[in-house]
Amino acid sequence: MKKMTRLTLLYLAAGLLVSVWVFPVLWAFLTSFKTERDVLAYPPVFFFTPTFANYHEVLFGNASILPNLWSSLVVTCATVVLTLCIAVPAAYALARLRYPFKRTSGFYILVTQMLPPVGLVIPYYLALQRLGWLDTYTGLIIIYLTFSLPFAIWLLVSYFEDIPFEMEEAALLDRAGRWGAFWHIVLPQVRGGIAVTTVFVFLNAWNEFMFAVLLGGNRVRPITVAMFNFISVEQTQWARLAAGAMVAMAPVIVLGILAQRHIVKGLTVGAVKGGGRR
């Protein structure tokens, strides 16, 4: 009886926590199918005739966000690829290798993660202006890389540290070489961690707003900035804004579904693996 009561309370608490996240998303989803009259109705209208006009306007109208979706995809995907290409070997080195100033380099990476982004806006702006990279993909990708890379390195270090050293040593004794041991033995063991890192880096880059609005412009205008096309001094087009939000969420949802199995495995790997020999 006590066990049943405990499980019931646990499920109720979990349902309450999930509803806190689900309710705003569900409300925005319903709003995206309303007319502006239904959106502004008071009391709120729960039964209405759905319309796809908001999605048509958002995707194909004068305020289409398709170019902005492309900008976000280019910047985000490039950031994820470059971050992983650098973070994976860097995390491996911090976790598995011995080299001079190892502790210093690890501390430096941690310090860069602690810097407040708002304090870097002016230096970033002046640097990109001097290089002629304002409102360019190159400039925005490099800026995103600076705050995604420290996070990714420290996230991946814990996964590399969980791999027993004996597995890698056995490969080295078989003359696999450092690169062969890394590629064939170590890397497959951290696929879950790489999947988790990919999702988090993608989310951080996709949802970023401050650097996008200040360092972007007309040529490079991510989706987070384009959402302001539906907000003006005279009025806020809530229905179209909700439709744009649903469209902007779609790539993230697809990524989460595709990487779900690896994400769950990566998040639970630390609970089922013993720590490696330090």
- The whole-angstrom separation of Cα 74 and Cα 68 is 10
Query: pLDDT tens, position by position, for the chain (278 residues)?
Result: 777 888 888 888 888 888 888 888 898 999 999 988 888 888 888 888 889 999 999 999 887 899 999 999 999 999 999 999 999 998 988 887 777 777 777 777 778 777 788 888 999 999 999 999 999 999 999 999 998 999 899 888 888 888 777 777 777 666 667 777 777 778 888 888 888 899 889 999 999 999 999 998 888 999 999 888 888 777 888 899 999 999 999 888 888 888 777 666 656 654 444 444 44
Is 47 strand, coil or helix? coil
Q: What are the structural domains, with CATH classification, of the chain?
A: 63-272 (1.10.3720.10)
- The whole-angstrom separation of Cα 200 and Cα 266 is 12
247 alpha carbon, distance to own chain's centre: 16
- The whole-angstrom separation of Cα 268 and Cα 21 is 22
CB 77 within 8 A of CB 83: no
